[in-house]
Chains A and B, each alone.
Chain A
């Protein structure tokens, strides 16, 4: 297994467009997390899944954001009607249920909204 992968690595979009990011976790991991990180800040938690169930969402996740993990494997994060303030690195991480304190992060998707 090569770890957590994310696609695309970079995305440039115009304000008002919709974007979708994909995350493929480590195959045997049940939990999948999404974070957002802006320059000079630590990652901010957005949401997480255990298998296909979305168990928690941060108040940072406005109604323009939606995340899915339909079969308990890969996950998508969609941002509708993007705003310049959405420009950030979007990070995905996964972990097994046991030992969930240790999270494995992907390389991130850098979103630039122009």
Chain B
């Protein structure tokens, strides 16, 4: 049973900002929120992690509200190469669960 909920798919156009929101209804006090990107026939790649407020790196930003019941991955100015599946997760005990992810399609 996945602990997180996120949209199954999203479409965007090149150059747009994309925001993918995940629900973390069962997040525990000590859990961190992480996001991964996966291309076909490859293993997932870590993008970003956070505990609360906002985190930014060279790839994305992660917004986590005070109640930590959701998180939003923001990808600025997407390109065709950002077409992939994006997974959010939070660590529940030591079971590292992935949900079905969000399939992002970037169109020209």
Contacts and interface: CB of A to CB of B under 8 A. Distances in A.
Main secondary structure of the interface of B (DSSP, over half): loop
Interface in B47-76: 49
Contact of A45 (B45, B95, B100): B95
Contacts of A79: none
Nearest to B34: A101
B42 interface: yes
Interface string B79-99: 000000101000100111111
Query: Max chain B CB contacts within 10 Å: which of A35, A55, A101?
Result: A101
Contact of B49 (A43, A92, A102): A102
Interface residues of A, number: 27
B94 A102 contact: no
Interface residues of B, number: 21
Contacts of B99: 42
Contacts of B96: 33, 45, 48, 103
B43 interface: yes
Interface in B22-59: 32, 34, 41-46, 49
Contacts of B101: 42
17 contacts: A42-B85, A42-B87, A42-B99, A43-B44, A45-B96, A48-B96, A91-B43, A92-B43, A100-B91, A101-B49, A102-B34, A102-B46, A104-B46, A106-B43, A107-B42, A108-B42, A110-B41
Interface of B: 2, 32, 34, 41-46, 49, 85, 87, 91, 94-101
Interface of A: 4, 33, 35, 40-45, 48, 55-56, 58, 89, 91-93, 100-108, 110
User: 5 shortest A-B CB distances, which residue pairs?
Assistant: A105-B43, A42-B98, A101-B32, A43-B98, A102-B46
Given A4-B43, A35-B98, A58-B95, 19 more contacts: A33-B96, A42-B85, A42-B99, A42-B100, A43-B44, A45-B95, A48-B94, A89-B41, A91-B43, A93-B43, A100-B91, A101-B32, A102-B34, A102-B46, A103-B44, A103-B96, A105-B45, A107-B41, A107-B43
